[in-house]
Amino acid sequence: MATKRKIDTLGTDDTEEQTIDETKTKRVKVSLESSPGSLTKENVEKSNQSSNKKANQNEKPVKEKEEKVARKDDHITMIPITINIGKNETGTYKYVDTKDKFIEAMKELQEKIRNKQMIAVDCEGVDLSRFGSVTLVNIGTRDLVYLIDILKIGNSVFDDGLRSILEDSGTEKLMFDCREDADALLHIHKVKLNGVLDVQILEVNNRIHVYRNGYTKIRSLKHCLELFVTDDTLLNVKLQGRSSMSMSSNIWEKRPLDESMLKYASVDILGLFKLYDAFRTRMSHIVWKAASSRYCDTTRSKNRTYRDGSGILPKGIIL
């Protein structure tokens, strides 16, 4: 009996110890569950959410900074490219091949026009006429040319500011043999070129008495630069461009444009001011502008079935 009581006592002690241990475990569990920082499933999820939120907050400024840099790149100011146009004389051009650059160029051009600066205009394209394409419209002053890439930006440039400049008779613009430019702009882009002062008319007027079967032979821009500009820097730039053109008939539709072609297009504008200075006293301004207007109409107003370029001045242009 004594042995049995001892065994029962031992069993009771073990049971009590187990009960105490279980109670301690429950208390610890309750303490952990009730602790604000305890690692329950709910708290772990909350902790993860909080970490993700902080990560997102840290990423947001970085993303905004990247977007800001991207926007800055889109609106980057065009840097003028300098080219030599004479002895100790330079000109510049800006290649306008995106919508943002075009908007910037229009603002600058309109400011120059408001300040009464004279501008010059020239178009480049393949078979420039109603039968071909206009890929560049170049507008510039004496020292800066904007080469506006119609092929890359799109025809929207005409309704976004270019049309108003080209069609405004009050905005006078130097050109050289404007006939095919006017024809292409009207029949392809519905732009009626106006306010033209054609430098070729000034040159022809000095030798109007030289006839060929009743008409006066006209000279090219290259020929005029050879005859009337003493420094051959402009001419050399033009000849480099002509060399590239001789290797491809559709070079003005190829992109990217070679630097020699961008310079070629630029000197066609910059050279006009040199010729204008040489010829400006040859005609009264009113007579010159009226003759240029008639010259504009000679090609665009007639029915054509092919590009019938002419090397003679039609009668009735210079009265």
Q: Is the peptide bond before 36 cis (omega within 30 degrees of 0)?
A: no
Contact (CB, 8 A) for 122 and 70: no
**Angle, nearest 10°, between helix axes 233-245 and 221-228?**
160
The residue with tokens 């090397």 is: 311
86 - beta bridge partners?
A: 89
For residue 12 the two structure tokens come to 């009771």
Cα separation, 13 vs 18, in Å, equals 9
Cα separation, 8 vs 319, in Å, equals 140
DSSP-derived secondary structure letter, 176: S
Query: How far, in Å, are 86, 220, 270 from residue 138 at the CA level?
Result: 20, 18, 11
User: For the segment 2-29, what is each residue's pLDDT rounded down to a tens digit?
Assistant: 444 433 434 444 444 444 445 444 443 4
User: For the segment 134-153, what is each residue's pLDDT rounded down to a tens digit?
Assistant: 999 999 999 999 999 999 99
What's the pTM?
0.76
DSSP-based three-state secondary structure for 1: coil
For residue 123 the two structure tokens come to 């178009």
Which helix (H) or strand (E) segment is 62 a member of? helix 41-74
Cα separation, 291 vs 310, in Å, equals 17
218-242 burial string, b = 16+ CB within 10 Å, else e? bbebeebbeeebeeebbeebbebbe
For residue 130 the two structure tokens come to 């109603």
**DSSP labels, 273-317:** HHHHHHHTTSS-HHHHHHHHHHHHHHHHTS--SS----SEEPTTS
Q: Which one, of 56, 31, 301, lies nearest residue 186 by Cα?
A: 301
Cβ burial, residue 108 (10 Å; 0-12/13-18/19+): middle
In tens digits, what is the pLDDT along the chain, a chain of 319 residues? Answer: 444 443 343 444 444 444 444 544 444 344 434 444 444 555 545 555 555 555 555 544 444 444 444 344 445 678 999 999 998 899 999 999 999 999 999 999 999 999 999 999 999 999 999 999 999 999 999 999 999 999 999 999 999 999 999 999 999 999 999 999 999 999 999 999 999 999 999 999 878 665 556 678 899 999 999 999 999 999 999 999 999 999 998 999 999 999 999 999 999 999 999 999 999 998 999 999 999 999 999 999 999 999 987 888 888 899 8
